Amino acid sequence: MYTNFAVATATGGGLSSTLIMVVIMVAIFYFMLIRPENKRKKEAENMRNSLKKGDWLTTIGGVYGRVVAITDRTVVIETSEDRVRVEFLKSAIGSVGTLDEQAAAQQRPGRKAAKNEEVAPVEEDQPETEENTEEHAEE
């Protein structure tokens, strides 16, 4: 009878630790994946809602132009000096700003890239000498 009590206690303890691990995994999943994605969606929606006439934008398909008309669901952009106008859904807008501004934003290193540059050692090229080339030839 004593052994059955010990088995029941061990099983109950295993169940609670398993439940705690599942809760921790769900919390990690939420903070690492779901929350950042919702934040990106919210920023994109704010960017699309803050459009005004005269803004320059690039669509997700790569079309670049100036905004000439805006409705609640669509945006009409002028793509060239020939006054070619194309209408897109707001969800098709990739980024807002001139091409120079967009290129500068992409070239700016992020926090992770800056950390990697600081930590990574810089390797210097050694000039080839006759001794180095002979050693490599023998190998």
pLDDT at 108: 75
Distance from C-alpha of 55 to C-alpha of 137, rounded to nearest angstrom:
61
- Segments of the chain assigned E as strands: 56-59, 64-70, 74-78, 85-89, 93-96
CATH class of 52-110: mainly beta
pLDDT at 123 > cutoff 70 = no
In three-state secondary structure terms, 78 is: strand
Q: What are phi and psi of 18, to 5 degrees?
A: -65, -40
Distance from C-alpha of 70 to C-alpha of 52, rounded to nearest angstrom:
7
pLDDT digits (tens, 9 = 90+) for 59-112: 999 999 999 999 999 999 999 888 899 999 999 999 898 877 777 777 876 555
Could you tell me if 51 and 70 are in contact, meaning their C-beta atoms sit under 8 angstroms apart?
yes
pLDDT at 64: 92
Q: 4-13, 73-82, 108-117 — which one is most confidently predicted on average?
A: 73-82
Distance from C-alpha of 19 to C-alpha of 33, rounded to nearest angstrom:
21
pLDDT at 125 > cutoff 70 = no
The structure tokens 């439940």 sit at 19
- The number of C-alpha atoms within 13 Å of 23 and in the hemisphere containing its C-beta is 6
pTM: 0.55
